[in-house]
Amino acid sequence: MENISLEQKYNKLIIAVSILIPVVVAILFGIKLKDFGFDVEPLTFLPPIYATTNGITALLLVAAVVAIKNGKKKAHQSLMTTAIALSVAFLVMYVAYHMTSDSTKFGGEGTIKYIYFFILITHIILSIIIIPMVLITYVRALAKTFDKHKKIARITFPIWLYVAVTGVIVFIMISPYYAK
């Protein structure tokens, strides 16, 4: 019963964080520090760093699955905690970039434009959906309700992996159009 109460204890926090993060990101995405009189240099060096962070996150997710399938629980736990930390770092860098820099428009035309926007839109939607899934999955592991953890992890993993990989793909596809 103690484990269930731990899950219940975190449910309201998971809901709050899952709503708050996308709302705050959306608001901050539209705020430019220069509009408020801050003389801040655009953080144009960040996109390749946060794209790399996404790539490393994808690798960590795969390594974590391999670790748990091989019975290495401590390695799995460390890899997953690091993946979460990198996702938070990505989010901070992403917001910082967009608060200091104008958005880059995709310059491709024809079929590639539709492919880019499909990848981008699915990436954005799933990046919002994955927030509560990751948090629930993590809390279930903390609560040691591993049967429930495993059940949701089977859904969380491929979605999170898709978000991480498509983050890299979006960067690669739009990088030729960044202002130099």
pLDDT score of 36 more than 70 = yes
The answer to whether 22 and 131 are in contact (CB under 8 A) is yes
Mean pLDDT over residues 121-126, rounded? 97
Say yes or no to pLDDT of 180 above 60. no
Would you mind telling me the total number of residues written for the chain in this entry? 180
Q: 31: phi > 0 → left, psi -120 to 50 → alpha, else beta; which? A: beta
Distance CA 112, CA 114 (A): 5
Total-model pTM: 0.91
The total domain count for the chain is 1
Residue 155 pLDDT class (50, 70, 90 cuts): very high
What's the pLDDT tens digit per position in 74-98? 999 999 999 999 999 999 999 999 9
- Residue 127 is predicted with a pLDDT of 97
Q: Containing domain of residue 63, as a range? A: 2-177
Work out the average pLDDT over 133-142.
Answer: 96
What CATH number should be reported for the domain holding residue 86? 1.20.120
Is the confidence at residue 73, as pLDDT, over 60? Answer: yes
